[in-house]
Structure 1
Amino acid sequence: MGPSIAQYDAEEVLRSTIEFAEKDDVMVHGHLAESKSEYDFTMEQFGCSPVEWFRRNNLLGDRFYYAHCIHLDEQDIKVLAETGTGVVSCPISNMYLSSSSCQVRNMMDAGVERIGLGVDGAASSNSSNMMEEMRVAYLLNRLTHEENACTSENILYMATAGGAKTLGRNDIGTLVPGKAADLILLDWSSLSYAGGRNDPADCIVRSGDARMVDTVIVNGEIVVKKGRLLRIDEWQKSAYADEISHELLQRASKHFLALQEEIISSVQESTGGAL
């Protein structure tokens, strides 16, 4: 079977994307080998894995980084390492969508240095919580890869220096002179973490959650203090998000009267009668 018109269109879009990225010297991001169906489709249509198809179309290298990268074989991992392509693991999204898990340790052992941690989008992770993402990344790797699972130090690398390399940044990721003063201060004096404070990496990764975050400093500016955002009105933003969410739910349920009535009742109860 010959290539379809859609295939030619896709390849033209890809060529234009690469030309634009090279002209303006910007990074290219996408998703790669996330689902088994994607892998099967690529094998059926092109006779190769998604990673190999990307290689053939000049979509690998230090300008590129991709989320997920789950359904890979040894050769795929070798290609990612040799081309210096970036990988972003999104474990909570992968669990939510039943996509399986990223072979993080195998990639690191193969020489993939540009490997970071992400939350994917709110629609497929629900929390966008990096502290939670670190803990789940560790636990999911322990569950699925056993002796080839990540250590706490591996996860911290992904969330800091590895993530910076993935983004093509050399001004963030580590606390050294000349780089941006980006850091968070964690309060683990809580009774919840008693007995586990002897190993900072393990405490952060295995027991950490957003409640530990006391202060966030971005490029030397304090943007979170005592766990509260300083540059926005949290209550106002929260109320606005709820308002938009309620509006979307009501619009989506307009053909289901009983559901619409249930949503309206729920909204009125949560807002003290206001709609």
Structure 2
Amino acid sequence: MTVRIDNATIVCHRHEDPVVLEDHSILIEGGFVQDVFPSAQIRNASDASVIRPGEVIDGSKHIIIPGLVNTHHHLYQSLTRGLRSVQDAPLFGWLAALYQKWKHLDFEAVKLASQISIAELLLSGCTTTSDHFYVFPRGSDVRIEAVLEAAESLGIRIHACRGSMSVGQSKGGLPPDECVQDERDILADCGRVLEQFHDPRPGSMRRIDLAPCSPFSVSEGLSRDTAALARQHGALLHTHAAETLDEERYCREKFGMRPIEWLDKLDWLGTDVYLAHCVHLSGADIERLAATRTGIAHCPCSNMRLGSGIPQIRRLLAAGARVGLGVDGSSSNDGNHLLAEARQALLLARVAGGADAMTVAQAFTLPTLGSAAVLNRPELGNIAPGCAADLALFRRDDLALAGAVEQDPLGALLLCHVGRADCVLIHGRTVVKDGRVATLDTGGLVERFNRLVCEKYR
């Protein structure tokens, strides 16, 4: 069906720079944007799809932006967000405590938690998310299908990362042995998931990435074998890297080098790799990441929440690195608001580098074109002919935007506290309507989820 949105304020990219288009229309057909044009041209149009579309949406009260792209998450972690015992813990202590909760994960818990996180993402204007799921406890029925089913039920576009941990505490790793898997089993399941679910076509709703968890939970052999398997299938690789000084010390003691040097040694840098965090980087690390076009998922709220540090985003961008945005896991943020994350990226950059360290335009680019580039998705992150029809509509008359929207619609969205999107389309399908998730009863979901958390994860 053809859909036309009229008389909207559109914020999109032209030649990589954000522009604001007033009183414009968007023509959507087959899940993709067919055209973007001044609404005044409709009266002179001759194309039947423009004159008589299947549906017309009045956009006069909306600011429309590209659907936001989240490059790093652990959807299941909404199970343990706000947990009192880890509210003030750094990463390693935080993980050590939470593994004791996560070793009880099962399929239904992961699916419910993922639905909760995805619903929040949708309401923030996020239309594509990467999810790094890496905890497969011994004896559990957990499979990556729990995440895939959650994504399908809500209609979000997903990069489901089949994560892995193989080095437990008995072998010098951080996770308990109950949470790690045999490497042969890991690789076999990675192959199965790629064969069964990976869809590399432009506009696909579901892709599989392979994602060993971290330097302190996997072996060099598994990292190499995983990279080879992913490259056989044309899939992306993802992991955590250079997140904390504890991780850096671990790598120096165990491998005799820094985290980025270790990844480089394993052939784990390149255009098919994206790394979460990259907080503690040397000048040589920055040059290497930029030269190899390795993607970086910047997670400012998580880095602040855990006290991990402030990434050098200004230097990375200046060097030509590909940088996107991620909300990270719901236990280390502890929310799923990607537009608010862009605001946080802006503010954190300015704390570190001054008022000119990041512009509003740069902050907007991080979860749009930046994140799309990190996931190798050129059809995402913009509103232009040929792009997927992933759109987030925010009301111009939102109280939080009053006054600011008349000054600068883009600045209003990035600098003010916008609560939620009014409407969200993914591949041309409405998934949020009137500020509510349209694809699932979130009231019933929250009730079931809170009951589960009380019973098993407090």
Tell me if both proteins adopt one fold, taking TM over 0.5 as the criterion: yes
2: CA distance, partners of 1:232 / 1:191: 27
User: Given the alignment of the two structures, is residue 172 of structure 1 paired with residue 380 of structure 2, yes or no?
Assistant: yes
1: CA distance, partners of 2:410 / 2:390: 18
Q: What does residue 305 of structure 2 align with?
A: 96
SS in 1 for 2:452: helix
User: Given the alignment of the two structures, is residue 28 of structure 1 paired with residue 234 of structure 2, yes or no?
Assistant: no
SS in 1 for 2:378: coil
Q: What does residue 142 of structure 1 align with?
A: 350
Q: 1:55 to 1:179 in 2, by over 3 A?
A: same
2: CA distance, partners of 1:110 / 1:124: 29
SS in 2 for 1:123: coil
Q: What does residue 400 of structure 2 align with?
A: 192
CA contact (8 A) 1:86 1:166 kept: yes
Structure 2 portions without partners, runs of 5+: 1-170, 173-214
Shift of 1:46: 3.3
Q: 1:135 to 1:171 in 2, by over 3 A?
A: same
Give 2:256's match in structure 1, choosing from 43, 47, 56: 47
Shift of 1:48: 2.6
CA contact (8 A) 1:115 1:166 kept: yes
1:184-205: CA deviations, max 9, x gaps? 0111313332232212222111
1: CA distance, partners of 2:424 / 2:400: 21
Give 2:371's match in structure 1, choosing from 160, 163, 172: 163
Q: What does residue 57 of structure 1 align with?
A: 266
CA contact (8 A) 1:131 1:210 kept: no
CA contact (8 A) 1:105 1:148 kept: no
CA contact (8 A) 1:103 1:145 kept: no
2: CA distance, partners of 1:78 / 1:148: 22
2: CA distance, partners of 1:51 / 1:181: 36
2: CA distance, partners of 1:89 / 1:80: 14
User: Given the alignment of the two structures, is residue 79 of structure 1 paired with residue 283 of structure 2, yes or no?
Assistant: no
1: CA distance, partners of 2:419 / 2:244: 29
Q: 1:73 to 1:148 in 2, by over 3 A?
A: farther
2: CA distance, partners of 1:192 / 1:186: 11
Shift of 1:53: 1.4
Q: What does residue 389 of structure 2 align with?
A: 181
Where in structure 2 are the equivalents of 1:202-221 lying within 5 Å?
Answer: 202-211=411-420, 213-221=421-429
1: CA distance, partners of 2:417 / 2:264: 38
Shift of 1:209: 2.6
Give 1:133's match in structure 2, choosing from 316, 336, 341: 341
1:29-84: CA deviations, max 9, x gaps? 11110001111222333333211111111000011001100001211111000001
CA contact (8 A) 2:243 2:277 kept: yes
1: CA distance, partners of 2:409 / 2:282: 34
User: Given the alignment of the two structures, is residue 246 of structure 1 paired with residue 457 of structure 2, yes or no?
Assistant: no
Q: Which stretches of structure 1, 4 residues or more, deviate above 6 A after TM superposition? A: none
Q: In the alignment, residue 358 of structure 2 is paired with which amino acid?
A: C
SS in 1 for 2:422: strand
CA contact (8 A) 2:400 2:418 kept: no
Q: Looking at both structures, which has the greater relative contact order when contacts are Cα pairs under 8 Å and sequence separation is at least 6?
A: 2
Q: 1:136 to 1:216 in 2, by over 3 A?
A: same
Seq. identity, %: 35
2: CA distance, partners of 1:200 / 1:47: 50
Shift of 1:225: 0.9
2: CA distance, partners of 1:192 / 1:21: 44
1:100-149: CA deviations, max 9, x gaps? 1221111110001x211101111111111112211111111111222562
1:157-207: CA deviations, max 9, x gaps? 111011011011122111111121011011131333223221222211111
Structure 1 portions without partners, runs of 5+: 253-275
2: CA distance, partners of 1:162 / 1:130: 13
Q: In the alignment, residue 341 of structure 2 is paired with which amino acid?
A: E
Q: 1:63 to 1:137 in 2, by over 3 A?
A: same
- The CA RMSD over aligned residues, in Å, is 1.8
Between Structure 1 and Structure 2, the one with more helix by share is: 1
1: CA distance, partners of 2:442 / 2:250: 44
CA contact (8 A) 1:131 1:208 kept: no
SS in 1 for 2:327: coil
Q: In the alignment, residue 428 of structure 2 is paired with which amino acid?
A: G
